[in-house]
């Protein structure tokens, strides 16, 4: 449940009355003091001695030319002043302390009258305290010099004053006041603080809260996949002229001619300059040598990425909301009520394109419309199987980008996007097929940046977790230039931790996790309750979830609802056949309870009594589309809520007829509270951290069961981190619309808004793979980052922190000291306190086989809490100032054999009710030693021949490909590997000779092996497979295996070396090795080397052509 923010009417009234009393007391005490000064004018006959002008001026700060003071009245009045001051102290302290004890309370924003009253209060109490303070100094021992502020009062003046005072019989009254008259100074302090608190309190907004609700999955954007594109690379150069220079110089590398390369994308910018190219099938290159050419920064492999989208349409249930929304748990609905709709922001979207003619997206394209421009990088044809045909028309062919766009800028009768008044530009990187490449993605990101967008969002990604790949590298640089970048965290949640996504791995790029939306999408219906008097008829809007694609007919209103049992706790209703004589219900819509047996079983029995239209009403389970797929049915059925059922039974028992009517328009939908799964992390959302233990994702947003725009003016419900990602971009756009984007805030904008978004997050409940909650435990930051975004905090809070996240690393490399700078952007001082909230910790290693545990294998979350100390323990930050706190963590003392992944948040609470949090994450154990060697049990291994003979039994090959006589290497790693090598040496090589990178001709090095690029079956097919379609080792950035991830990686070697030549016949030594996590490539011991199961000597003999088994 989202933390509640509320304030009671009693508390608000008490605070206001306290303010009034403090004000009245201050005015009263001040009035008494001023009266005391004027007494002498009216009663000069009671005293003939006047204070000297100099003394009067210095002591009272007032000219006293004709003012006489009655000392008795002065003393008596001083008593009143001090009593009044004491009351002011008490009331001011109460007024100040109440908000401190109830700091999370909010308050009305319209009572701004308290601002001047508060400062008048402070002034009045200061004046009220002046007279008794003066008396106190005046009664000091004669001859002693006293100070009043910066004013020195001479002993002579004091003596003259004391002569006057000692002649009065009431001096004793003044003497009694000596211990008390200092109190007005405290009164002044408390009054000033009370005034500040008053301002803060009445400036705060009221944020009402609804309980989190429920929903289930419709269309699901499945786990995205990323694979290396064979022979396609992108080179980064230092400047534009170096692009052509690179191609000239590359022709001489290893004697390989690049004359026939095909170039694709050329980019020149202050962020990235470079070119992508594809080699001819019979060519290969040495990436290490290319990277060492003058003017070359790096050569990147290009990755292929697929969305994995399977869109469908679907509805869900209610007693119901007239409009569906995804804003109930994020605070965006409150921004809309304040008129904050994103006007002035410009969003860049990199996706499949957009159906810009959709009415909810503005119905057009270009200046004057919501979608003002963009670019199509690939065209509408057969790309990537044919050449791209780019143009300026980013019309969508797939639907994904249209759905993403509606989440941000959509505006219809059915839903409203996060920022319906923002402008958008679309950069299309998919054609008609679900395939794109990372060099095209980079070109799109650079184009969006050059077009001046404030933020770039991309709901694209693939299994990765390496921040130094091409796409995340460029995305990170764009953030440094001031662009906010959000990228989907991925949909591979079942694989468990350490399985992050590609582009989202970039530094300062916000990776977005998915949370089930709290409002379901339901088909719309109206209930009418008719009594004997038609004028007394009432109605109610409801929703329902259909069991099949067939909706109820429009004449459903001719079939009144019939209840077969009024016992709403009878879960077994309709599980048995109804007895003879039950009656004919063919003229009714029949309502029965869900439970005990299946929907299908109940449907059979209800159809047997003639019913054609059936309403199941829910038990305490989740709302779902009833599953009747196991039977042949002759009726239309749906599920309604238990609340709807209760209302129907109540009206029928009151003697009314209940009619259900629908419009017949399939687009008529309603929203329904989801009290079961709503606001829970989606099981599919990918887990971090990155392989270097960088925390990912950073934040979560609604992504499960999201209604948005789709192709041809339609609407669809989709689920995935693809849906959560544009939501976060929308929140960033709302901020940019209010306070300006990178054009006004400069290069700090991207990082600033990222920090505000991440620190706004609030904790979400822990759920396992089956969405079962663990009471009192919050979801791991490795799954949801800082938690659900709170848009109100992002836009309205005056407190901010300079830290995005705290990364503790593993125990062996623990990073415990972290400084957080807090900025107070309010005009008043704010008090800050600190605490931590720990999330559920998970064991990440399966002790049986050493694999990383998949999400579905998680046990109960553990309690793992690091030690923490804050220095200082609290802060007072003055207006428009910043101050720092050091957070010192100590590693938790727990059993580290299973490498528990623990997390939580540093909570920063202010005296004005603001609370922000910074997520932290650490790993208990020594990651490097635990996952080394990286090979999973029984891997690697290598068969060859038709009968798949193991390499230990057949360490030779003829490379007779049709007879399958070539080595296949199966590799499975328990942790991700940044570099996998297949190096070939002359016999006699030992690890003492290892040098990195190896050089042909030195230390017996022959060259690197290659792998076939297009493995699609278990056997080589000469009619399909091209033996020249190979790429050279090393292979970079291979993801981990096991525990819900892929089982292994497969490589076929046809005998070609990395320089394009074929290996000669003879004996060789193979070195197949994977770099250990955090390993040094130059150190032999930092590699996991395949030794067991690999012969020391293998033989190549191309002269044999017989089948070898």
Q: Which residues are catalytic?
A: 351, 400, 722
β-strands 219-220, 715-719: how paired? parallel
Please give the Cα distance from 431 to 422 (Å, whole number).
Answer: 26
Q: Report the DSSP beta bridge partners of residue 1049.
A: 971
Q: Decide: 1069 and 988 in contact? Cβ < 8 Å.
A: yes
For helices 155-166 and 114-138, the axis angle rounded to 10 degrees is 80
DSSP letter at 317 equals: -
Handedness of CA 238, 241, 247, 250 (dihedral sign): negative
Tell me how far apart the alpha carbons of residues 229 and 286 are, in angstroms, rounded to a whole number: 16
Interior CA angle at 642 toward 640 and 648, to 5°? 80
- Residue 220: strand pairing partners: 719
Q: How far apart are CA 360 and CA 340, in angstroms?
A: 18
Task: Kindly report the three-state secondary structure assignment for every residue of 1011-1063.
Answer: EECCCCCCCCCCCCCCCCCEEECCEEEECCCCCCCCCCEEEECCCEECCCCEC
What CA dihedral angle connects 853, 859, 865 and 866, to 10 degrees? Answer: -20
| C-beta of residue 787 within 8 angstroms of C-beta of residue 699 | yes
Residues 168, 170, 176, 181, Cα dihedral to 10°: -70
Both structure tokens of 548: 């099949």
> What is the rounded CA–CA span in Å between residue 240 and residue 83?
81
Element (H, E) at 472: helix 470-480
> What phi and psi, each to the nearest 5 degrees, are found at residue 226?
-130, 125
H or E element in which residue 511 lies: strand 510-516
Enclosing H/E stretch for 870: strand 867-871
Contact yes or no for 866/926 (Cβ under 8 A):
no
Terminal CA-CA length for the chain: 63
**Distance between CA 1099 and CA 1109 in Å, rounded?**
15
10 Å CB burial of residue 1022 (0-12, 13-18, 19+) is exposed
Lay out the sheet containing 225-237: strands in order across: 262-267, 274-278, 225-237, 296-306, 436-437
Q: Long-range contacts for 135-144 (Cβ within 8 Å, ≥24 apart)?
A: 135/74, 135/75, 135/78, 135/174, 135/177, 135/181, 136/177, 136/178, 136/181, 136/182, 137/59, 138/59, 138/162, 138/165, 139/165, 139/171, 139/174, 139/175, 139/178
**DSSP per-residue letters across 268-313:** -SSS--EEEEE--TT----HHHHHTSTTEEEEEEEEEEE--B----
Residue in 682, 892, 889, 686 with CA at minimum distance from that of residue 782: 686
Output the CA–CA distances (angstroms, integers) from residue 451 to 342, 448, 476, 725, 837, in the order listed.
Answer: 19, 5, 18, 21, 42
Cβ 713 vs Cβ 504: under 8 Å? no
DSSP code for 103: T
Of the CA atoms within 13 Å of residue 390, those in its CB half-sphere come to: 12
């Amino acid at each position: 449940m989202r933390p509640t923010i509320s304030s009671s009417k009693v508390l608000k009234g008490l605070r206001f009355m306290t303010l009034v009393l403090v004000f009245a007391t201050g005015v009263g005490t001040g009035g008494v003091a001023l009266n005391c000064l004027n007494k002498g004018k009216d009663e000069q006959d009671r005293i003939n001695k006047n204070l000297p002008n100099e003394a009067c001026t210095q002591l009272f700060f007032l000219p006293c030319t004709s003012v006489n003071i009655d000392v008795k009245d002065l003393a008596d009045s001083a008593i009143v002043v001090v009593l009044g001051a004491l009351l002011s102290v008490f009331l001011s302290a109460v007024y100040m302390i109440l908000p401190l004890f109830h700091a999370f309370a909010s308050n009305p924003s319209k009572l701004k009258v308290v601002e001047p009253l508060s400062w008048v209060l402070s002034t009045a109490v200061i004046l009220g305290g002046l007279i008794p303070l003066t008396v106190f100094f005046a009664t000091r021992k004669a001859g002693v010099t006293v100070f009043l502020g910066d004013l020195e009062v001479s002993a002579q003046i004091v003596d003259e004053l004391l002569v006057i005072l000692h002649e009065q019989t009431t001096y004793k009254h003044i003497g009694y006041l000596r211990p008390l008259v200092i109190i007005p100074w405290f009164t002044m302090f408390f009054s000033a603080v009370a005034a500040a608190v008053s301002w803060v309190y009445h400036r705060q907004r009221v944020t009402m809260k609804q309980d989190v609700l429920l929903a289930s999955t419709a269309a699901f954007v499945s786990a995205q996949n990323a694979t290396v594109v064979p022979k396609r690379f992108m080179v980064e150069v230092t400047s534009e002229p170096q692009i052509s220079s690179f191609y000239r110089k590359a022709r001489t590398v290893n004697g390989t001619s690049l004359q026939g390369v095909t170039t694709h994308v050329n980019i020149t910018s202050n962020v990235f300059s470079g070119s992508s190219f594809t080699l001819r099938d019979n060519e290969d290159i040495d990436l290490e040598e290319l990277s060492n050419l003058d003017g070359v920064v790096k050569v990147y492999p290009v990755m292929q990425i697929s969305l994995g989208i399977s869109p469908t349409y679907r509805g869900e249930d209610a007693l119901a909301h007239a409009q569906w929304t995804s804003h109930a748990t994020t605070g965006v609905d409150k921004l809309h009520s304040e008129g904050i709709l994103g006007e002035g922001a410009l969003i860049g979207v990199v996706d499949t394109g957009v159906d810009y003619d959709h009415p909810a997206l503005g119905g057009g394209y270009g200046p004057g419309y919501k979608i003002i421009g963009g670019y199509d990088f690939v065209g509408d044809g057969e790309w990537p199987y044919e050449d791209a045909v780019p143009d300026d028309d980013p019309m969508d062919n797939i639907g994904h980008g249209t759905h993403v766009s509606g989440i941000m800028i959509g505006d219809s009768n059915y839903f409203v996007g996060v920022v319906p008044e923002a402008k958008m530009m679309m950069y299309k990187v998919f054609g008609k097929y679900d395939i794109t490449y990372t060099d095209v993605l980079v070109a799109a990101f650079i184009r969006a940046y050059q077009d001046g967008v404030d933020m770039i969002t991309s709901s694209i990604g693939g299994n990765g977790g390496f921040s130094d790949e091409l796409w995340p590298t460029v995305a990170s640089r764009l953030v440094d230039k001031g662009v906010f970048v959000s990228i989907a965290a991925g949909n591979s949640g079942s694989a468990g931790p350490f399985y992050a996504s590609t582009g989202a791995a970039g530094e300062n790029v916000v990776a977005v996790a998915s949370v089930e939306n709290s409002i379901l999408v339901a088909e719309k219906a109206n209930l009418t309750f008719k009594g004997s008097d038609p004028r007394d008829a009432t109605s109610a809007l409801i929703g329902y979830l259909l069991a099949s694609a067939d909706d109820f007919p429009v004449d459903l209103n001719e079939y009144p609802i019939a209840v077969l049992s009024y016992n709403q706790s009878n879960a077994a209703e309709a599980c048995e056949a109804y007895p003879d004589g039950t009656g004919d219900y063919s003229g009714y819509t029949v309502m029965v309870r869900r439970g005990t047996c299946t929907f299908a079983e109940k449907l059979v029995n209800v159809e047997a009594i003639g019913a054609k239209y059936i309403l199941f009403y829910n038990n305490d389970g989740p709302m779902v589309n009833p599953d009747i797929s196991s039977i042949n049915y002759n009726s239309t059925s749906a599920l309604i809520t238990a609340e709807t059922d209760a209302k129907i039974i109540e009206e029928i028992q009151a003697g009314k007829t209940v009619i259900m009517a629908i419009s017949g328009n399939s687009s008529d939908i309603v929203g329904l509270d989801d009290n079961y799964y709503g606001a829970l992390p989606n099981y599919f959302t990918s887990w971090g951290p990155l392989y270097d233990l960088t925390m990912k994702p950073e934040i979560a947003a609604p992504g499960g069961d999201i209604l948005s725009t789709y192709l041809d003016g339609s609407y669809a419900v989709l689920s995935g981190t693809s849906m959560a990602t544009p939501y976060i971009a929308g929140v960033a756009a709302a901020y940019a619309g209010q306070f300006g984007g990178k054009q006004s805030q400069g290069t700090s904008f991207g990082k600033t808004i990222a920090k505000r978004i991440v620190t706004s997050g609030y904790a979400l409940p822990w759920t396992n793979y089956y969405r079962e909650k663990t009471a009192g435990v919050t979801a791991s930051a490795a799954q949801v980052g800082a938690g659900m975004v709170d848009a109100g905090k992002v836009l309205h809070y005056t407190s901010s922190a300079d830290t995005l996240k705290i990364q503790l690393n593993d125990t062996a490399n623990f990073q415990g000291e972290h400084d957080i700078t807090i900025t107070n952007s309010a005009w008043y001082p704010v008090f800050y306190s600190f605490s931590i909230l720990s999330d559920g910790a998970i064991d990440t290693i399966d002790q049986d086989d050493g694999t990383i545990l998949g999400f579905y294998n998680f046990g109960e979350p553990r309690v793992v809490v690091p030690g923490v100390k804050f220095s200082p323990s609290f802060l007072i930050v003055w207006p428009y100032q910043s101050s720092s706190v050091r957070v010192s963590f100590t590693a938790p003392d727990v059993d580290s054999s299973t490498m528990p992944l623990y997390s939580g948040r540093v909570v920063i609470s202010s005296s004005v009710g603001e609370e922000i949090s910074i997520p932290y994450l650490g790993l208990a154990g020594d990651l490097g030693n635990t996952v080394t060697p990286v090979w999973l049990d029984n891997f690697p291994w290598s068969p060859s021949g038709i009968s798949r003979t193991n390499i230990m039994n057949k360490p030779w090959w003829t490379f007779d490909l049709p007879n399958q006589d070539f080595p296949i290497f199966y590799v499975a790693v328990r942790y991700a590997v940044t570099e996998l090598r297949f190096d070939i040496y002359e016999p006699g090589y030992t690890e003492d000779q290892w040098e990195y990178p190896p050089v042909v001709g030195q230390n017996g090095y022959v060259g690197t092996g290659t792998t076939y690029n297009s493995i699609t079956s278990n056997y080589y097919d000469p009619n399909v497979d091209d033996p020249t379609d190979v790429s050279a080792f090393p292979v970079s950035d291979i993801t981990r295996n096991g525990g819900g991830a892929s089982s292994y990686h497969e490589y076929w070697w046809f005998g070609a070396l990395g320089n394009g030549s074929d290996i000669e016949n003879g004996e060789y030594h193979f070195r197949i090795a994977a770099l250990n996590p955090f390993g040094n490539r130059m150190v032999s011991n930092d590699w996991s080397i395949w030794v067991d199961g690999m012969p020391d000597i293998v033989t190549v003999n191309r002269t044999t052509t017989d089948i070898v088994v």
